[in-house]
Every structure is written in C-alpha cells, then in structure tokens.
C-alpha cells in the first residue's frame, strides 16, 4: 500500500507555506535527491511536535517532531519498483545515519517495501545502546509485532523490562505474550529480588495466561512485597488467570480483590 498520500495529508495540515513548498519541491525527485532531502530536512522543517498524532498503518505519532514525520514521508516517496536500487538507497542512509536520522529510518519501517529485508535493521535497533533508536523500534511501532520471531520479540520486551521502560507502549505487547517470555520474566524477577530490586509491576500482566506452580510462587512473593504496586499486580494476575492455585491465593487477600473488582486498582493504573 502507498502510504505517502496519507502521510502528506498529515503534513499538509501542519506545515507552513514555506515548509510545504520545500517538501513539495523534493517529494517527486530522484532517489538521490530524496536521500539528500532526507538528510537536509531539519534545516527546513520545524521541530515542533506533530499536532495530529492519530495512527497511520498502526504507527502512532505521539511525541514525534514534525521534521521526523517529514523524513518518514520522504522515505515513503522512494520508488520501490527497482528493488535493488530502492534497497541500496535506503541502506546507504542507514549506514551513514546520525542518531536522529536513525530514529526516522527505524520509524519508517512499517511504511517500507520489502519488509522482510529490513529485519536485520530492526533487530539491530533492539540491540542499540542509543535510547531514542531503541525506543523507535520498541514503542508505537507495529513492525516488531507483525514480523519479529518469538525470540526477537522476547528480547525486545525483556530489554524494556530490564531498563524500566514503559512496556505498555509496545504495540501488541499483550497479544504476543508467550510462555517463554513469562518464564524469562520470572527469572529476571528472581535476579532483581536477589539484588534487593524489583521489576516494573506491569510486567506481571504478561504471565497471566502462562501461570504454573513456579510462577505462582512469584505471585505469592509479590503479595508479601512492601511495594503496593507489586501487591496490586499480584491481585490483578490472580483475578485474570484461570490457574486454580491463584484463586486460592486470592482468597487470602480479600481487601485487595475487592479494590481490584471495584476498579480502584487496574493495570492502567500501573502503566506509569
């Protein structure tokens, strides 16, 4: 699907006359001129936040700067009919990108042709130690949800948990919960507890459908935690799971159960 017209509509609603003139002058150029425009965009486009962040193709533009959106639009205008030239042009931008350019490139992945080809770029972003680059693949980006293997997906989610990042902003985080990830969350929690630390309480939402006797012991530990967030998470897990032992555990904490069932406690309340 050609998303460039949808992106342009979004741009047109915010751009100044001068910005719009520059964008239109570049949008139908050759691959080389589009590459040059991609690099030059911040000199001609404001860094104000995007005013209309409604998603396009599952991509939310919350907290995007306008120059980032324009860069994504310019990339969407690359002619993909010649696969080799198309891939070479974008690969060149990846290979020479500074941080803001890398963020825009990763943000564009859901709009690029030949999505399977960009898998290595996406997984490299997961491994990146540059926060904004990692965030560009992990948050408000449907590419991992749609294309990552279970292993790559779990690595991304666990890195978020390890670094206390907001996993609720990962597209498809609940849909792609899996047993291996649940066990890894348990293992990470044990490491943190041994060091006198915790994991974000929201992470326990991902174990609901994969509870077993071992993970139930973790939930029991959460009930005894000094952190109210841990106790809330334990309660919400026990309410949502079908694992019988969890229902027995919940009976010991009627006060917490009541607050959860009357919406005093919720996963949304744990998101931040």
pLDDT tens across the length of the chain (272 residues): 679 999 999 999 999 999 999 999 999 899 999 999 999 999 999 999 999 888 999 998 989 999 999 999 999 999 999 999 999 999 999 999 999 999 999 999 999 999 999 999 999 999 999 999 999 999 999 999 999 999 999 999 999 999 999 999 999 999 999 999 999 999 999 999 999 999 999 999 999 999 999 999 999 999 999 999 999 999 999 999 999 899 899 889 888 877 877 777 889 998 87
Q: Is 219 exposed, middle or buried (0-12, 13-18, 19+ CB in 10 A)?
A: buried
Q: How far is CA 13 from CA 8, 64, 66, 230, 252, in A?
A: 9, 15, 11, 44, 56
Per the structure block, which two tokens stand in for 83? 């696969």
- Is pTM beyond 0.75? Reply is yes
**Residues paired with 56 in a beta bridge:** 59
């Amino acid at each position: 699907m050609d998303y460039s017209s949808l992106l342009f509509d979004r741009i047109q609603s915010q751009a100044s006359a001068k910005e719009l003139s520059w964008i239109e002058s570049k949008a139908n150029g050759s691959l080389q001129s589009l590459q040059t425009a991609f690099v030059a965009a911040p000199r001609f486009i404001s860094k104000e936040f995007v005013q209309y962040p409604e998603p396009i193709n599952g991509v939310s533009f919350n907290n995007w700067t306008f120059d980032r959106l324009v860069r994504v639009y310019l990339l969407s205008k690359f002619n993909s009919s010649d696969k080799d030239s198309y891939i070479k042009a974008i690969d060149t931008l990846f290979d020479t990108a500074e941080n803001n350019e890398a963020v825009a490139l990763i943000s564009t992945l859901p709009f690029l042709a030949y999505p399977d080809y960009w898998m290595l770029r996406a997984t490299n972003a997961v491994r990146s130690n540059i926060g904004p680059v990692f965030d560009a693949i992990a948050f408000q980006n449907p590419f991992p949800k749609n294309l990552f293997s279970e292993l790559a997906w779990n690595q991304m989610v666990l890195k978020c948990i390890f670094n206390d990042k907001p996993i609720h902003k990962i597209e498809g985080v609940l849909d792609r919960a899996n047993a291996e990830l649940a066990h890894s969350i348990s293992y990470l929690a044990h490491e943190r507890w041994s060091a006198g630390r915790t994991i974000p309480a929201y992470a326990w939402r991902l174990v609901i459908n994969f509870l077993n006797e071992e993970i139930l012991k973790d939930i029991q530990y959460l009930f005894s935690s000094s952190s109210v967030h841990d106790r809330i998470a334990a309660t919400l897990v026990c309410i949502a799971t079908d694992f019988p032992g969890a229902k027995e555990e919940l009976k010991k904490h009627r006060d917490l159960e009541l607050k959860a069932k009357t919406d005093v406690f919720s996963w949304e309340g744990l998101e931040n």
